[in-house]
Chain A
Amino acid sequence: MSSRSVTLDQALFASVRSAKNEGYQLVARSDGIDDALTREISAWAPTHDSLPEGDRELECVSLHVLDDGRWCLALTRSSGIEYSGRGRNVATWMLIADSLAIDAFAAQPFRLLDAAAMLPWPGWEVESPGAVPQLELLAGRSRLNLQAVSLACTRYGAAAVASAVDAVLVASGPLAILAERNRRQLLDALLSLLPYDRCLNLSFTAGLACSPRRPFALHVVSGEDQLRSFRRTFKGDVLDLRSPVAATLQSSYASELHQLLRTEMWSQLARCARMGSTKDE
C-alpha cells in the first residue's frame, strides 16, 4: 500500500455576528477558498434548520460535488447557541478535495475523514471570521473499511447490503436508504463497496434534513419523518433496510458482490471495488 501527501482547503460555516454580516457565513477559510467557491458553498451549506428534530446531538456527514468536480466533504453538528440567542448554532466543517486528493484516498470520503480527524482542528466555536491553514494529509490507497462492511452484513444481511449497492448503481434520481441506526457506518460500508468511478460524483448525506437546496444523490435517513420529508422533496426511490430485503439485483456488479458478501470472501472485496468488477482483469 503506497501513501502520499495531499493538501486540502478547509472552512467553517456557522452563524456569527461579524463586522460585515450577521448570520450563517464562512467564518473561517483557508487561502484556496475564493469568493466564487464561497458562494457555491454558501448556497448549499446547512443552516439552523438543517438538522432534523431528534438528531441534534449527532454529527452529520455529507458530500457535495462542486461544479468543477471537486468534493466538499462536510461534518455538521450543533455547536452552542447562535449569536442571536435564537436556538442552536449549526456549524459545518468543510474539506475541499481536488482530483489529486480524491484519487489519493481512492475516492472514499470516509478514508479522507479518518485522515483529517488525526489532525488538530481549530475548534467548532469560532467567534469571528478569520483564516485557517490548509490541511496536509497523508493518504493511503486502501478504500475498504472491512469492519464497517462486516457489521453492515451482520446487521442488515448480505442481500440488503448488495441491494443498497445495486440501488445506488441503477438509480436515475435521488435515492433514500432507510436505516434506523449507524447510518454513518452503513454509508462507509457502501462507499467501500461501490466501484471507484461511481464514488467520484456521488453526493450524499447521512443526517441532514432534506431540502431542494441540497439535491444529494443519496440520502441515508432514519424514521418516518425523514422519509416523508425525502418523498415530499425529491419523490425519489426508497430502499427500506428495516425489514429483510430480498436480493433482486439489476446490476451484474451487485450480483457478483452479493456472492462475495454471502460467502464472506472478504479478501476479494477490495479488488472488486477498485476494479468495478469481481472478475480478474
Chain B
Amino acid sequence: VSAVYQELETMRIAQYAVGLPCYICGEGNSRDEELCRHCHAPLALAHQAAVQKVTPQMLGVVGPAGCGKTVLLGMLLDLLSRQADDLQVLARGAFSISLQQSVVSHLARCEFPPKTPSEPDRWNWVHAQVKAPSRKGLELIVPDMSGESLVEEINHPNSCPVVRSFLEKTHGSLMLIDAGRLDQGDNEPDFFAMKVLSFLCELHGRSPQRKLDLPVAMVFTKADQCESAFEDATQFAQKQTPGLWQLCQQRLSKFRFFASGVVGACAFTYNRTGKQVVPLRIEPRGIVEPFRWLVSEMKPGRR
C-alpha cells in the first residue's frame, strides 16, 4: 500500500501567522507585500536576506539634491561589475541592476539621469555581493536615496522614516559634496555636509565627547570642474570646507577625503523647458577609490 502525502490547502495560510520583518526598519509585514507598510522600503531585501548565509551590511550614500549621488553610484556599480579586478560587485536580484542600467543609458544618450523621486518606494535599491581581498563574503545594501528626503528627515524628524531607519544601521557612508559649487564660492555644501555628519552622529548615539567609529568617505563630486580637488582632496577640504574639516576631526575616528568626477566636459542646452546641463564625455575619475577604502574600513557583522 502506498501513501501519498499532500499538504492541506488550509496550510497555505499558516505562513501568514508569522510576519516578515522589514530589513530596514524591522517592523512586521505580511509576506505578500511588496513594500514595507511602515517605511516603504522594498521587502525583497528581507526575502533575500532571509536566504543568505551572510548578513548584508548597509552603506549610505548621502548628500543634497543634485550633488551627484545617482550618477556616482550607478557609475561605481558599472565599473565594478564589469572589470575583472580584485574588487568586484555582483548584483543580487534583478532589481539591483536598475540603477546601473538607468545611469549608463542616460549618460550614453548625453543626458544626466532624472532627479530621484522623493517617494522611497520609487528609489533604486541595490543589494550586491562584494568581492574584495580585504573582506570575504561581504553583502551590501545601498539605496539611491533622494537628497530631498534626507533634508526633510533632518529638518522634520520622522517625516521620512526609511531615511532614519537606514542611516541608523549603516556600517559606512559615502558623503557627497559638490566641489563645483564650493569652487564658485558657495558655502552651502559645507553647511549641508556638517548637518548630515551631525545627524549621523546623533543617530549612532555618539555624544560630542566620543568619536564615531563609522567610516565616512567624504567625496568631492564634480571635481572635473576644479582640478585642485583632484590634486589634493584633503587640502581642498581644509580650504573650502573648514567647518566640515573641523567637525570630522572632532567627531570621527575614520574618515578620508576623496575627489571624483564622471564627466570630462559638460555643455548647456536650451529647450522648451529651459536651460539644461548635458554631459559631453564620460571620463570617470576617482569613483572606485572611496568605495575601496570604505570596504576595507567597514567592520564585519556589526548589525
A residues near B (Cβ < 8 Å) are: 21-24, 38-39, 42-43, 47-50, 80-82, 84-88, 211-213, 232-233
Q: How large is the interface on B (under 10, 10 to 19, 20 to 34, 35 or more residues)?
A: 20 to 34
Q: Are A232 and B159 in contact (CB under 8 A)?
A: no
Question: How many contacts between A and B, using CB within 8 angstroms?
Answer: 72
The distance in angstroms between the C-alpha atoms of A211 and B276, with both chains bound, is 28
Do A81 and B273 contact each other (CB < 8 Å), given the known contacts A22-B188, A87-B114, A212-B35?
Answer: yes
Q: Contacts of B119 on A, CB cut-off 8 Å?
A: 49, 211-213
Name the distance in Å between B20's Cβ and chain A's nearest Cβ. Answer: 16
Q: Contacts of B37 on A, CB cut-off 8 Å?
A: 212
Cross-chain contact of A49 among B64, B122, B151 (Cβ < 8 A): B122
Name the distance in Å between A88's Cβ and chain B's nearest Cβ. Answer: 7
Q: Are B121 and A47 in contact (CB under 8 A)?
A: no
Q: Which of B35, B119, B276 has the most CB of A within 10 A?
A: B119
Q: Contacts of A212 on B, CB cut-off 8 Å?
A: 35, 37, 40, 119-121
Cross-chain contact of B66 among A43, A84, A232 (Cβ < 8 A): A84
Name the distance in Å between B90's Cβ and chain A's nearest Cβ. Answer: 28
Q: Are B35 and A22 in contact (CB under 8 A)?
A: no
Q: Which of B40, B117, B118, B159 has the most CB of A within 10 A?
A: B118
B147 at the interface (CB under 8 A from A): yes
Q: Contacts of B118 on A, CB cut-off 8 Å?
A: 24, 47-50, 213
Q: Are B277 and A85 in contact (CB under 8 A)?
A: yes
The distance in angstroms between the C-alpha atoms of A81 and B277, with both chains bound, is 13
Could you write out 19 A-B pairs with CB less than 8 Å apart? A22-B188, A23-B64, A24-B152, A39-B156, A42-B159, A43-B152, A47-B148, A48-B118, A49-B118, A49-B122, A81-B275, A84-B66, A86-B65, A86-B112, A211-B121, A212-B37, A212-B120, A233-B35, A233-B121
B232 at the interface (CB under 8 A from A): no
Do A22 and B156 contact each other (CB < 8 Å), given the known contacts A49-B118, A211-B119, A232-B34?
Answer: no
Q: Contacts of B185 on A, CB cut-off 8 Å?
A: none
B210 at the interface (CB under 8 A from A): no
Q: Contacts of A232 on B, CB cut-off 8 Å?
A: 34
Given contacts A84-B66, A212-B35, 9 further A-B contacts (CB under 8 A): A39-B159, A43-B156, A43-B160, A47-B117, A49-B119, A81-B275, A85-B274, A86-B276, A212-B37
B155 at the interface (CB under 8 A from A): yes
Q: Are A23 and B65 in contact (CB under 8 A)?
A: yes
Name the distance in Å between B68's Cβ and chain A's nearest Cβ. Answer: 12
Query: Which residues 1-57 in B have Cβ within 8 Å of A in the complex?
Result: 34-35, 37, 40
- Nearest CB in chain B to that of A38: its residue: B156
- Nearest CB in chain A to that of B275: its residue: A85
B115 at the interface (CB under 8 A from A): yes
Q: Contacts of B273 on A, CB cut-off 8 Å?
A: 81, 87-88
Query: Which residues 155-186 in B have Cβ within 8 Å of A in the complex?
Result: 155-156, 159-160
The distance in angstroms between the C-alpha atoms of A39 and B121, with both chains bound, is 21
Q: Are B156 and A42 in contact (CB under 8 A)?
A: yes
Q: Are B152 and A42 in contact (CB under 8 A)?
A: yes
- Nearest CB in chain A to that of B112: its residue: A86
Query: Which residues 67-124 in B have Cβ within 8 Å of A in the complex?
Result: 112, 114-115, 117-122
Q: Are A24 and B148 in contact (CB under 8 A)?
A: yes
- Nearest CB in chain B to that of A46: its residue: B118
Name the distance in Å between B70's Cβ and chain A's nearest Cβ. Answer: 11
The distance in angstroms between the C-alpha atoms of A86 and B276, with both chains bound, is 7
Q: Contacts of B188 on A, CB cut-off 8 Å?
A: 22
Q: What 10 A-B pairs are tightest by C-beta distance, nearest first?
A: A49-B117, A81-B274, A23-B148, A47-B118, A43-B159, A39-B156, A211-B119, A212-B40, A86-B115, A84-B66
- Nearest CB in chain A to that of B154: its residue: A21
Q: Are B114 and A23 in contact (CB under 8 A)?
A: no
The distance in angstroms between the C-alpha atoms of A88 and B114, with both chains bound, is 11
The distance in angstroms between the C-alpha atoms of A87 and B276, with both chains bound, is 9
Q: Contacts of A24 on B, CB cut-off 8 Å?
A: 118, 148, 152
Cross-chain contact of B65 among A39, A81, A84, A88 (Cβ < 8 A): A84
Do A22 and B122 contact each other (CB < 8 Å), given the known contacts A42-B156, A86-B114, A87-B115?
Answer: no
- Nearest CB in chain A to that of B156: its residue: A39
Q: Are B151 and A23 in contact (CB under 8 A)?
A: yes
The distance in angstroms between the C-alpha atoms of A211 and B277, with both chains bound, is 29
Q: Contacts of B160 on A, CB cut-off 8 Å?
A: 43
Name the distance in Å between B36's Cβ and chain A's nearest Cβ. Answer: 9
